[in-house]
Amino acid sequence: MDQTGPGPGPGSSFLALIRKKRDGEKLLDEEIRRFVRAVTRGGLQEGQLGAMLMAIRLRGMDADETLTLTREMAVSGRVLEWPDSWQRLLVDKHSTGGVGDKVSLPLAPALAACGCKVPMISGRGLGHTGGTLDKLEAVPGFNVSQSPEQMRCILEQVGCCIVGQSEDLVPADKVLYGLRDLTATVDSLPLITASILSKKAAEKVSALVLDVKFGSAALYTSLDSARTLAQSLVSVGNRLGICTVAMLSRMDGPLGQRVGHSLEVLEALQCLEGRGPADLHHLVTTLGGSVLWQCGEAGSVGQGAARIAATLADGSALGKFQAMLQAQGVEAGVAQALCTGTEEQRYQVLGRARAQEELPAAQDGAVQRVEALPIAQVLHELGAGRTQKGQAINHHVGAELLVTVGQRVGKGSPWIRIHYDTLELSNNHRRTLQGALVLAGSEPFAPSCKVAEIILPQGSRSLEELTGEQGSGSSQALLCSA
């Protein structure tokens, strides 16, 4: 029986909830509901909120508590509404963040070219990871602030939009998200799950693919910890009625060959032309293929991946990207120059850093790996990232990898090109960067696939099981019923 009183105000009733969770007890649905309402209305002291977050971080929440927290956060503000005819085709993707992760830029328009509706609500950079919104704002005129009515109009005209979280969408998450950083509870499994999925539930999507990164440059460094998060997300997502699948992908080295906002836009455009780095193309087509499988537009992940690849090869995804740019504020001539111009013409649109410097390999050898974290940290110090919320960033700062994993390089040959602007590249920066290149005396080799594992409602599968002919016949039976 609920003994917490009429509502968790700043008095004894909310202290009882803190005490209950502190002692490891399960919170009732109504208790969680009142907690989220109090968070949204601002009726709690910051110290009390911090205490509850820490209690959740230390004691955890079971699957039922996490589901209720997610559901109540989703309805703490406005929930997006769409035409009934769109329901099955409303899809989205979320990444837990990495270095060089520009997947959303080609993926959203590729899905739109396949007939899906993609109301993608994205975020800004956190720490050493770049944000999708920051990358798109490297394009002159691109406006990430779109009302729900404007989003619906863009989806009708184009099929996809990439926007920021509006003030009235999941306000409870905004409060808790900011406090998690201040209270060292960022890594809390139920809080991460609720934060990610509450926004997707408020979008009212029917299918969601999650790119959960693991490795030295990811939020979770080990495969086991990333798998635990992925399982939580898939379980709660499907119980919310969203057909949810997660892919565990490696984030030790950068994704693609370019890191930094403007440079990543350029590489995304290459991908949209069916060119560019193989690892980026593979991750875009695999994630997109899963989404098409999940919403019933493909019989297997492999068939879906082939459809996504076709939109990249035939220019239809690029056309959707150009249309999205114009729908979100970019002048028609600028969008056309960016999407149909040469690389030099694209640089003229996006701008270029004041200086570039190439660093040479210190010895002969085959590239075993390129560490993403030190590269990202140097670029952050050169102005590509934020040290506090709202700080301006330099879109032109970045790095181009001139080698790939498995490639043989000679001593003295350039392996990376750094683009820097107002802040100079120091000797300390150079030493840090040189430590990111790991060479060995082995023969050249093919790099491993980025996707290590796929998490379905029924358990884990390998990518081969879901893309090969063997898996295609029975693959629908592996999916959720949403």
54-82 pLDDT tens trace: 999 999 999 999 999 999 999 999 999 99
pLDDT value at 11 more than 50: no
Is the predicted pLDDT of residue 6 greater than 80, yes or no?
no
Give just the sign of the alpha carbon dihedral 346, 347, 348, 351: positive
Question: Which pLDDT band, with edges at 50, 70 and 90, does 276 fall under?
Answer: very high
For 461, phi then psi, to 5°, come to -135, 155
- pLDDT (tens digit per residue) in 352-378: 999 999 999 999 999 999 999 999 999
- Give the mean pLDDT of 316-327: 98
Average pLDDT over residues 187-206: 94
Question: Distance from CA of residue 74 to its chain's centroid?
Answer: 19
Q: What is the mean pLDDT of the chain?
A: 91
> Is 71 annotated in the active site?
no
- pLDDT(390) > 80: no
Residue 442, pLDDT > 50, answer yes
167 pLDDT higher than 90: no
Tokens for 477, please give them.
């039976």
Q: 134 vs 474, which has greater pLDDT?
A: 134
Contact 357, 370 (CB under 8 A): no
**What pLDDT digit, counting tens, does each position of 137-146 carry?**
999 999 999 9
CA distance 44 to 14: 9
Does the annotation count 413 as an active-site position? no
Q: Which residue in the list 34, 94, 117, 152 is annotated as catalytic? A: 94
Given this model, what pLDDT does residue 12 score?
Answer: 55
pLDDT score of 9: 43
- Spatial separation of the C-alpha atoms in residues 228 and 458, rounded to whole Å: 14
pLDDT of residue 476: 52
Average pLDDT over residues 425-436: 96
In the set 195, 249, 262, 290, the catalytic residue is 195
pLDDT at 482: 38
Percent of the chain with pLDDT over 70: 92
Residue 474 has what pLDDT? 41
pLDDT-derived band at 481 (thresholds 50, 70, 90) equals very low
pLDDT score of 464: 79
Residue 316 has pLDDT above 50, yes or no: yes
Percent of the chain with pLDDT over 90: 78
CB proximity list for 420: less than 8 A, separation 6 or greater: 353, 354, 355, 356, 357, 382, 383, 397
pLDDT of residue 208: 97
CA–CA separation, 419 and 355 (whole Å) = 6
281 is catalytic: no
Residue 27 CA: distances (Å) to CA of 20, 55, 385, 464: 7, 12, 39, 41
Structure confidence at residue 265 as a pLDDT band (50, 70, 90):
very high
Query: Which H, E and C letters describe the chain, residue by residue?
Result: CCCCCCCCCCCHHHHHHHHHHHCCCCCCHHHHHHHHHHHHHCCCCHHHHHHHHHHHHHHCCCHHHHHHHHHHHHCCCCCCCCCHHHHHHEEEEEECCCCCCCCHHHHHHHHHHCCCEEEEECCCCECCECCHHHHHCCCCCCCCCCCHHHHHHHHHHCCEEEECCCCCCCHHHHHHHHHHHHCCCCCCHHHHHHHHHHHHHHHCCCEEEEEEEECCCCCECCHHHHHHHHHHHHHHHHHCCCEEEEEEEECCCCCCCEECHHHHHHHHHHHHCCCCCHHHHHHHHHHHHHHHHHCCCCCCHHHHHHHHHHHHHHCHHHHHHHHHHHHCCCCHHHHHHHHHCCHHHHHHHHCCCCEEEEEECCCCEEEEEECHHHHHHHHHHHHHCCCCCCCCCCCCCEEEECCCCCCEECCCCEEEEEEECCCCCCHHHHHHHHCCEEEECCCCCCCCCCEEEEEECCEEECHHHHHCHHHHCCHHHHCCCC
* pLDDT, position 241: 95
Whether 94 sits among the annotated catalytic residues: the reply is: yes
What pLDDT was estimated at residue 5?
A: 41
Nearest CA-CA partner of 133 in 161, 158, 159: 161
d(CA 275, CA 20): 55
Q: Assess whether 199 carries a catalytic annotation.
A: yes
Please give the C-alpha separations between residue 196 and each of 182, 210, 223, 371, in angstroms, as whole numbers.
19, 10, 20, 27
Please indicate whether residue 3 or residue 447 has the higher confidence score (pLDDT). Answer: 447
Cα torsion for 306, 308, 311, 313, to the nearest 10°?
-60
Mean pLDDT within 272-287: 96
What is the structure's pLDDT at 126? Answer: 59
Contact (Cβ atoms closer than 8 angstroms) between residue 90 and residue 79:
no
Distance CA 333, CA 265 (A): 17
Q: Who has greater pLDDT, 473 or 203?
A: 203
Q: How far apart are CA 45 and CA 380, in angstroms?
A: 34
- Using 50, 70 and 90 to split pLDDT, how confident is the model at 7? very low
Q: Convert the pLDDT of each residue in 36-55 to its tens digit.
A: 999 998 878 889 999 999 99
Which pLDDT value is given to residue 133? 92
Q: What is the pLDDT of residues 215-261, one digit of tens each?
A: 999 988 999 999 999 999 999 999 999 999 999 999 999 999 999 99
Q: Which of 71, 102, 117, 180 is catalytic?
A: 180
396 — pLDDT class (breaks 50, 70, 90): very high
Higher pLDDT, 248 or 473: 248
Q: Which residue has the higher pLDDT, 414 or 441?
A: 414
Please report where in the chains the tokens 């537009």 appear, as a residue: 297
